[in-house]
Structure formats: C-alpha cells, structure tokens
C-alpha cells in the first residue's frame, strides 16, 4: 500500500510540476499576473508531494518490504537501520528520486526567497526550474521508478546494500553532491530567465550569486567527502582515481568555480555578462552530462551504475534539449547583452578573466580524457584507457599559472593598477614563501623534487598574500577591530576559499611525493618497518557484525619502541552477497596518516598486509572543507539579504 | 592600423598561440598515456583488421578470465603468477602485491602493466570490478559467447 501511495504521490507531484512549467512561463509571456502568481504555490505543492513519495520509499526500506524491487535489490533485513535509509540513494532508481526531491527543494527555496524579484523574472525562473523538474520526474516515473513491484513472486530476503556503500562517508556524500549538482540548476534558471526577459543587469548577477555560491559549496563538500570515502573504503590508500564517475563531478565544479569568479566581476563591475551567462549554462549542462555518464553505463568505470540503453537515450535527449535550447536562446539574445565597465590590462578584471580561462581549459582536459575512450571505441578503434598520469601531468602544468593568479589576483584593484604600487607586496610575499617552503621541505626530507617544492611554495605564497592583504586592508582603518569589521563577508569568503585551496595544493603535493607503502607477508609476531614506525602483526581475531563476519588483523604500531596505537585492519565477508571487503585501519593525524589494509591469508597461516604512510593527506580534505565554508559564508552577507521590494499588487509590478 | 585594431590583433595572436601550445601539450601527454586494451587472444593473434600486435615493453591493459588452477604464489613474498583466457590462447600475468578482494579463479579481471615477452605481462595493477556483477564490461564483451558461471546468489531481475 505504502509504495503505491509513494508512486501516486510522485505522479501528483509530476502533474503539479507540469503546471509549474507552463503557468508562469505562459503568464510571463502574456503578461498575465495571475498565472505567474500560481508559481510559488505550485512549487510548494510539488515539493510536498515529492517529499511524501520519498518518505514512502524510506518507510518501505525500513520495513523490509521486499515486494518492492528496489528494496529487495538494495537492502536486507539484517542491514542496520541507518544504512536502510541510505540505501534509498544507494542505487540508480532511489538516487533519481532523491535527485527529484532535492530539485523540488531548491525550487521551493527559490520560490520562497525570491519575493523581491520582479514577477516577470521570478515567474520565469520558477518556470524553467519546473521544466527541469518535469524532465527528471518523467524520467523517474517512466524509466526508473523505485516503487516497481515484484508481486506476486517476491524474495523473502533482500540482496543487501552493496558493502562498499556501507560506510559513513556514503551516508552524506550523495545528498551533498546532489545538492550541488541540482543547485546549479538554479543559476541556470536565472540565466535563462534573464535571457528570456532580455535584462541582464546587476540585479540578476546579485541574485544569482548567493545561489550559485551555495550550490558550489555543496558540490565542493560532496566531492571532498567522496574523495575521503574512496580513501577510507576502497582500501588502496588512494583518494582520486580520475575515474569517469569522479570526473563527472569535477567538471561542473571547475566550471562553477569559474562561474562564481566571473559572477563577482559581473555583480561589482558589470563586466563579462555574456560570458557569465554562458558559464551558468555550461555548469548545469556539465552536471547533466555527468548524470548521463554515470547513469547510462556508457563508460566503463570501476563504479558505474546502471546500464540501460533506454535510460541512456532519455538522458541524452534531455541533455540535447536543455543544452541545445539554452544555447539557441543564448545565440538569439546575446547581442543585446553589453558589458559596461572598462578596464586596463593590469587589473582585477583581467586576473579573473585569466582565472576563468585556466578553469575552462582544465575542464576541457577532463572532458577530453573522459570522453576520448568512448569516442575511440565508438569509432571502432578498440578499447583504450587514458591513464592517471595524463591528468596528473596536465594539471600540474596548469597549476603553476593558476596558483600564481590566485596569489596575485586578490591584491589587484578593479579597473586598473600601477604595477609599482603592488610590486613591493609581491616581492615581499614571494620572498617569505620561498624561504618558508624551502626551509620546511629541506629540513624534513632528504630528497626534494622540484615540482613538490614549487607546489608547496605556491601554497605558502597564497596563504602569505592573503594574510598581507588582510593586514593591509585592516591597517587602512583607524583601529584593528574597526578594520576587521569593515571587511565584508564576501571578502572573507574569498580569503577562506583561497587558503583552503592552498591547503589542497600542499596536501596533494606532499602526499603524492612522500607517501610510501609496503606490501608484506607476515606471520604473527613479525615486525615490519616503514619510515620511523614499526608495525608488529599480532595475529587475527574473528569479528562479527550484523550482516558480515570476518577477520581483523591486529597490528601494534610502535615508534622508537614506544607504543603508538593498536590498529584493526578488517577483512569482512558480507554474508548475503558473499562479498569480501577490505576495511582499512587508519590512524589519522594532522601531519600523517598510518593506513593498513589486510590482504589475503596464505596456506601456512601467514597474512599479507599493506602498510601505507601518507603524510599531510588530511590537508586536502581540510582544504576542501575550508573552501566550502567560504562558500557558505557569503550567504550571510547583508548585501544578499532579502529587501522587501515594493510588492507587486497590480499589473504595474509586472512591467517593472 | 589604428591602436584598437592593433590591440585586437595582439589578443587574437595571443589566443591562437595559447591554444596551439595547449593542444600540442595535450597531444603529447596523450600519446604517452593512452593504454590500449587487449584480450589474451588479441595479444597473441593481433588486434583489429590488420592484426596489430603489441611490442615488447609496451604499456597496456589486458582483460580476461583467470584460468582456474593457474594461480601460483611465491612461498615467502607477495609474488603471484596466473594465466588469463578469453576464447583462445593463454597469457601469463606476473604481479607483485596484494590482489583485490574480488580476485577469484574463474572470474574476469583487468590488469595493467608492461609486456615483457610476447605472451607475458608484468602487471603493476590488477583490478576486479567493485560491484556485485563481477565482470568488467570490457571482459564481458571479450568473452561473449563462452560460458560464464554466474555467482549463485544473484536473484535474477524481475524474479
């Protein structure tokens, strides 16, 4: 009964969503305010019914209703309750429902928080969001409903959730990622609505910016946690695989990063307007492309999802409509968009423009590396793979000019700058960072690679310039506290974003250069050494979880014969799927992680163990979190607070 | 030429130069890092219409089923050697390290490594798909037509 109600509820939501797509857009076209005013209520109705539908799925999963195919395939009666809930986004159909739910959530948020917008724009934004909602919801209803029934022949036990997904990281990673992916549809809708209205003024940029920032911050968090999950759960000590599925999330992130920078220039100086619109379209299109890549099974991936040609064609068709339609509209309207500001070569505008270039180039490289194997195969040239070294090489080349800009840009003023004025600051900060980073690396490591030193130098440089900049801005005021108060939240957002990025660079550089690992075959009592740590294998003990059994290798870690920690590296056998899983044991620290993975047992009682020493690996995720915090901070900026604009009581408002 | 046009021309030249350099870099990096995929029979008999065989020393990926009974382990190191098959000849894979959890005799795997002899690969990475459907798609395609034993716990779809 409940699953049927869930399906029904989704159908009702779909009906409301169709109205949400038609009414406001038609109303805006004909100037009919009554039709436009229906939008917020429809958005609310849509959200409520999608939520009911989702709750029905959660209920079904919690109650082990294996008459529902999705629950039977992705859950089991012995699965802990919190994983029963997460199983609702653990596989394709459920994940689509969560996607639709989040889409409806963003839509209703926009509906509620856009009261100060002129009705024409507001209605169009909601109408476009409605259109996207129709696309995703019809896909979910027609091709991938999580409520499909197995009656009358249903299993008594489910197939259990994929053990890889039974991890705390997986509880929060997908919803955060979807908040990001889908959130980009808001900036997309603003761009389309603005193009339809033909007014791309500062109001538009000002409105779009906090929404874009929020989506981007969620995306940042989602990717960061995804990387952490891969590290903790896959058991090979890596945190980025350049896998198509990962690239699918990186591409919209790169473009969204370009977008938030370009938006700030559009908002403050009225420049790059048409470019910003194009980026907004591209960012969301790439998040759709990502869905296509992940959901269609078209690309071979270690963790690709469903493979179903009908689904692939649907998403491809939707992608073509959205991208094609929006580009067409863009082409028709772009001539009317004029940027006002003028600027010189040496100015913040140019720095931001270059930043955008690098980010777009990076996106193209990822796109190329992801799609080339596919094109190659479709052309009948055979199956190829593009290795991690390709991406690493390209990104380390791009990093140098990009990091340079990142350090220099914030110090530049809008419009124009005399090189002389900032030269001293640059020279000073550069000197500090060279000294600090060389002292750091040469004192800690015997061998220092040029690339590592360069990367760390840039990381330090970004941090130093940020601090100098804060100092300078504060010193212009009469007192420190007053100076600090005067710096806006969006300034702090930028500083946090940049410092977070510095952490990421340093973390990636150091952990790539100085991570070491050893695979050893050990009998109980054996000691293996790696760096300054000794690892004593004390044998294995049996473990038993709710839905798994297995062994835990007990390893005592010693440093100069002093006890450091006792670690349990587990090898689990999930009983229902008969799947083995390596559960790595990690002793985390600010400057290093000790990471152990248990291998297989040999006939003579020995075990294989893999020991990793990973310096500064945590800095990457710390950096990601700092960046995201910066993004969220801007939401509290007073400039973006809702001002109650003169409310539209009659037709006068429509024309405003 | 007026200054405005001159400025534009400079910008265009700079852009072309930038694009040219990046394309060259990308192509160079790609050339180094594309790994062709072979199945055991393609490796031995050649691949494609012109029966191209990889040269010794080439970096490549190979996918096939682990021949049951072919896995040989070293007594006191993590060295392992096994044979891969698709539909015809066998290829030997040598690997030093821990095998993935889903590595089994009779299952499909993908190995990445260098060709050290016409029928031997020194692998630096062995992958088994992290999914309940054991077969990597590339392997599934390669072994189409030969009987593959499905794990018994799979509830068929629509059951």
- Look-up of token digits 């900032």: A422
Mean pLDDT of A315-319: 88
Decide if pLDDT at A508 tops 70: yes
Question: A302 and B98 in contact by Cβ < 8 A?
Answer: no
Question: A521 and B127 in contact by Cβ < 8 A?
Answer: no
Q: Is B130 assigned a ligand-binding role in the annotation? A: yes
Q: Is A394 on the interface with B (CB under 8 A)?
A: yes
Query: Residues of chain B whose C-beta is under 8 A from some C-beta in A?
Result: 18, 22, 25-26, 29-30, 32-37, 47-48, 61, 73, 76-78, 96-99, 101-102, 112, 127, 129-132, 136-138, 151, 153, 155, 157-159
Q: CB neighbours of A581 closer than 8 A, spacing ≥ 6?
A: A163, A164, A235, A548, A571, A572, A573, A574, B101
Q: Is B159 assigned a ligand-binding role in the annotation? A: no
The Cα B114–Cα B91 span in angstroms is 13
Query: Which H or E element spans position A445?
Result: none
The Cα A394–Cα A83 span in angstroms is 39
Q: CB neighbours of A418 closer than 8 A, spacing ≥ 6?
A: A346
Chain A and chain B share a number of CB contacts under 8 A equal to: 104
Q: What is the mean pLDDT of chain B?
A: 78
Residue B137: predicted pLDDT: 57
Strand-pairing partners, residue A615, are: A592
Task: Sort residue B115 into left (φ over 0), alpha (ψ -120 to 50) or beta.
Answer: beta
Q: CB neighbours of A477 closer than 8 A, spacing ≥ 6?
A: A483, A486
Q: Is the dihedral of CA B42, B46, B50, B52 positive or negative?
A: positive
Question: B73 and A602 in contact by Cβ < 8 A?
Answer: yes
Distance in Å, alpha carbon of A66 to nearest chain B alpha carbon: 11
B-contacting residues of A 36-95, CB under 8 Å? 69, 72-73
Which of A159, A304, A365 is the closest to B26 by Cβ?
A365
- A632-650: pLDDT as tens digits: 999 888 777 655 444 444 4
Q: How far apart are the first and last CA of chain A?
A: 49
Residues of A in contact with B33 (CB under 8 A): 386-387, 389-390, 393
Q: Calculate the CA A135 to chain-centre distance.
A: 22
Distance in Å, alpha carbon of A253 to nearest chain B alpha carbon: 21
Burial class of residue A419, CB neighbours in 10 A (0-12, 13-18, 19+): exposed
Residue A300: predicted pLDDT: 52
Range list of β-strands (E), A292-389: 384-386
Residues of B in contact with A571 (CB under 8 A): 101
Q: Calculate the CA A357 to chain-centre distance.
A: 21
pLDDT band for position A407 (50/70/90)? Answer: confident
List the single range of A179-193, A476-490, B115-129 with lowest mean pLDDT: A476-490
Q: Per the omega criterion (within 30 degrees of 0), is the bond before A278 cis?
A: no
- pTM (2 decimals)? 0.90
Residues of B in contact with A607 (CB under 8 A): none
Q: What is the mean pLDDT of chain A?
A: 89
Which of A297, A579, A599 is the closest to B132 by Cβ?
A579
Mean pLDDT of A264-272: 88
Residue A621: predicted pLDDT: 97
Decide if pLDDT at A533 tops 60: yes
Residues of B in contact with A381 (CB under 8 A): 48
Question: A608 and B36 in contact by Cβ < 8 A?
Answer: no
* Six token digits for residue B51: 């029966």
Question: A300 and B78 in contact by Cβ < 8 A?
Answer: no
| Nearest residue in chain B measured CA to CA from A603 | B75
Find out whether A274 and A337 touch, Cβ atoms under 8 Å: yes
Tell me the ipTM for this assembly: 0.75
pLDDT band for position B139 (50/70/90)? Answer: low
Minimal CA–CA distance to A245: which of A72, A105, A95, A84? Answer: A95
Question: A390 and B33 in contact by Cβ < 8 A?
Answer: yes
Residue A334: predicted pLDDT: 84
Minimal CA–CA distance to A571: which of A555, A592, A587? Answer: A555
Can you give the three-state secondary structure of chain B, one letter per residue? CCHHHHHHHHHHHHHHHHHHHHHHHHHHHHHHHEEEEECHHHHHHCECCCCECCCCCCEEEEEEEECCCCCEECCCCCEEEEEEECCCCCEEEEEECCCCCCCCCCCEEEEEEEEEECCEEEEEEEECCCCCCCCCHHHHHHCCCCCCCCCCCCCCCCC
* Packing angle of the helix pair A168-197, A119-143 (nearest 10 deg): 130
Residues of A in contact with B18 (CB under 8 A): 357
3-state secondary structure of A338: coil
- A326-362: pLDDT as tens digits: 999 999 988 877 777 778 777 888 889 999 999 999 9
Residues of B in contact with A363 (CB under 8 A): none
Mean pLDDT of A167-187: 92
Decide if pLDDT at A244 tops 70: yes
- B5-47: pLDDT as tens digits: 787 888 889 888 888 888 888 888 887 788 888 889 888 888 8
The Cα A532–Cα A445 span in angstroms is 13
Distance in Å, alpha carbon of B78 to nearest chain A alpha carbon: 7
Buried b (16+ CB within 10 A) or exposed e, A623-649: bbbbbbbbbbbbeebeebeeeeeeebe
pLDDT band for position A296 (50/70/90)? Answer: low
Which of A69, A365, A383 is the closest to B37 by Cβ?
A383
The Cα A225–Cα A246 span in angstroms is 12
Question: A577 and B153 in contact by Cβ < 8 A?
Answer: yes
Burial class of residue A40, CB neighbours in 10 A (0-12, 13-18, 19+): buried
Residue A345: predicted pLDDT: 75
Residue A306: predicted pLDDT: 46
Residue B149: predicted pLDDT: 42
Residues of A in contact with B138 (CB under 8 A): 300, 383
Find out whether A365 and A250 touch, Cβ atoms under 8 Å: no
**Which strands sit side by side in the sheet containing A548-559, from one edge to the other?**
A527-530, A533-544, A548-559, A562-574, A579-583
Q: Does residue A75 or residue A201 have the better pLDDT?
A: A75
Decide if pLDDT at A406 tops 60: yes
Distance in Å, alpha carbon of A385 to nearest chain B alpha carbon: 5
Burial class of residue B129, CB neighbours in 10 A (0-12, 13-18, 19+): buried
The Cα A408–Cα A402 span in angstroms is 10
Question: A582 and B131 in contact by Cβ < 8 A?
Answer: no
Find out whether A234 and B128 touch, Cβ atoms under 8 Å: no
Residues of A in contact with B159 (CB under 8 A): 150, 153, 155
Distance in Å, alpha carbon of B99 to nearest chain A alpha carbon: 7
3-state secondary structure of A327: helix
Residues of B in contact with A520 (CB under 8 A): 78
Mean pLDDT of A195-200: 86
Strand-pairing partners, residue B96, are: B79
pLDDT band for position B158 (50/70/90)? Answer: very low
Q: Is A580 on the interface with B (CB under 8 A)?
A: yes
| Nearest residue in chain B measured CA to CA from A517 | B97
Q: Does residue A382 or residue A80 have the better pLDDT?
A: A80
How many CA atoms are closer than 13 Å to the CA of A100, on its beta-carbon side? 36
Q: CB neighbours of B77 closer than 8 A, spacing ≥ 6?
A: A521, B96
Residues of B in contact with A73 (CB under 8 A): 155
* Six token digits for residue A523: 């009998």
**Which strands sit side by side in the sheet containing A585-587, from one edge to the other?**
A516-522, A607-615, A592-601, A585-587
Minimal CA–CA distance to B65: which of B114, B103, B121? Answer: B103
For A603-656, give the DSSP string. Answer: TTS-EEEEEEEEETTHHHHHHHHHHHHHHHHGGG-GGGSPP------SHHHHH-
- B73-94: pLDDT as tens digits: 887 788 999 999 887 889 999 9
Residue B5: predicted pLDDT: 79
3-state secondary structure of A540: strand
The Cα A246–Cα A234 span in angstroms is 14
């Amino acid at each position: 009964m409940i699953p049927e109600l869930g399906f029904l509820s989704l159908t009702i939501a779909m009906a409301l969503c169709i109205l949400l797509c038609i009414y406001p857009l038609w109303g805006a076209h004909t100037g009919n305010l009554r039709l436009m005013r229906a939008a917020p209520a429809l958005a609310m109705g849509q959200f409520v019914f999608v939520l009911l539908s989702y709750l029905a799925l959660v209920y079904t999963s919690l109650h082990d209703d294996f008459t529902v195919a999705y629950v039977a395939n992705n859950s089991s009666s012995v699965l802990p309750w919190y994983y029963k809930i997460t199983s609702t986004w653990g596989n394709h159909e459920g994940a689509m429902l969560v996607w639709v739910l989040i889409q409806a959530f963003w839509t209703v948020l926009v509906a509620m928080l856009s009261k100060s917008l002129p009705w024409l724009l507001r209605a169009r934004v909601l109408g476009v969001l409605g259109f996207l909602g129709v696309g995703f919801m019809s896909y979910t209803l027609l091709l991938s409903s999580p409520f499909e029934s197995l009656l009358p022949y249903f299993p008594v036990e489910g197939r259990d959730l994929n053990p890889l997904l039974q991890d705390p990281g997986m509880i929060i990673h997908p919803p955060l990622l979807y908040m990001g992916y889908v959130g980009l549809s808001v900036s997309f809708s603003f761009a389309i609505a603005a193009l339809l209205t033909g007014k791309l003024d500062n109001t538009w940029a000002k409105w779009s910016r906090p929404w874009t920032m929020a989506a981007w911050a969620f995306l940042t968090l989602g990717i960061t946690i995804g990387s952490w999950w891969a590290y903790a759960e896959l058991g090979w000590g890596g945190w980025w695989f350049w896998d198509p599925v990962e690239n699918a999330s990186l591409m919209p992130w790169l473009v969204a990063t370009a977008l938030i920078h370009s938006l700030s220039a559009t908002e403050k100086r009225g420049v790059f307007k048409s470019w910003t619109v194009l980026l907004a379209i591209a960012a969301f299109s790439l998040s759709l492309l990502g869905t296509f890549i992940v959901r269609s099974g078209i690309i071979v991936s270690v963790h690709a999802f469903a493979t179903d040609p009908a689904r692939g064609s649907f998403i491809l068709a939707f992608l073509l409509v959205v991208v094609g339609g929006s580009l067409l509209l863009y082409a028709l309207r772009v001539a009317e968009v004029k940027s006002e500001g003028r600027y010189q070569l040496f100015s913040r505008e140019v720095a931001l423009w270059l930043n955008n270039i690098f980010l777009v180039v990076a996106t193209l490289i990822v796109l190329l590396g992801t799609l080339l194997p596919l094109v190659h195969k479709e052309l009948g040239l055979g199956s190829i793979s593009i290795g991690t070294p390709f991406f690493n090489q390209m990104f380390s080349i791009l990093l140098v000019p990009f990091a340079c800009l990142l350090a220099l840009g914030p110090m530049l003023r809008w419009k124009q700058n005399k090189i002389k004025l900032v030269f001293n600051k640059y020279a000073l900060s550069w000197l500090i960072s060279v000294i600090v980073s060389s002292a750091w690396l040469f004192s800690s490591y015997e061998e220092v690679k040029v690339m590592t030193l360069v990367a760390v130098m840039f990381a330090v440089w970004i941090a130093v310039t940020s601090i100098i900049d804060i100092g300078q801005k504060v010193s212009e005021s009469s007192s420190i506290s007053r100076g600090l108060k005067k710096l806006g939240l969006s300034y702090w957002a930028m500083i946090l974003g940049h410092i977070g990025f510095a952490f990421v660079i340093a973390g990636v550089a150091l952990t790539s250069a100085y991570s070491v690992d050893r695979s050893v075959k050990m009998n109980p009592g054996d000691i293996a050494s790696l760096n300054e740590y000794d690892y004593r294998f004390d044998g294995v003990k049996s473990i038993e979880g709710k839905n798994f059994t297995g062994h835990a290798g007990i390893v005592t870690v010693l440093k100069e014969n002093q006890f450091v920690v006792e670690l349990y590296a587990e090898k689990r056998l999930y009983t229902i799927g008969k799947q083995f899983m390596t559960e790595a044991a990690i002793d985390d620290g600010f400057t290093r992680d000790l990471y152990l993975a248990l291998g297989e047992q040999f006939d003579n009682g020995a075990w294989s163990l893999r020991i990793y020493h990973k310096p500064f690996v945590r800095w990457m995720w710390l950096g990601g979190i700092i960046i995201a915090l910066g993004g969220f901070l801007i939401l509290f900026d007073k400039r973006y607070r809702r001002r109650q604009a003169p409310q539209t009581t009659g037709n006068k408002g429509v024309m405003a | 030429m007026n200054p405005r046009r001159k400025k534009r021309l400079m910008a265009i030249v700079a852009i072309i130069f930038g694009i040219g350099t990046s394309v060259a870099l990308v192509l160079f990096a790609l050339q180094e890092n594309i790994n062709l995929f072979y199945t055991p029979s393609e490796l031995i008999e050649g691949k494609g219409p012109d029966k191209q065989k990889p040269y010794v020393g080439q970096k490549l990926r190979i996918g096939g089923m682990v021949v049951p009974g072919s896995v040989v382990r070293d007594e006191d190191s993590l060295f392992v050697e096994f044979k891969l098959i698709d539909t015809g000849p066998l290829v030997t894979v040598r690997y030093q390290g821990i095998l993935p959890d889903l590595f089994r005799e009779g299952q499909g795997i993908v190995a990445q490594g260098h060709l050290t002899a016409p029928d031997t690969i020194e692998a630096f990475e062995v992958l088994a798909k992290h999914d309940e459907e054991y077969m990597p798609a590339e392997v599934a395609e390669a072994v189409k037509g030969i009987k593959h034993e499905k794990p018994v716990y799979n509830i068929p779809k629509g059951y």
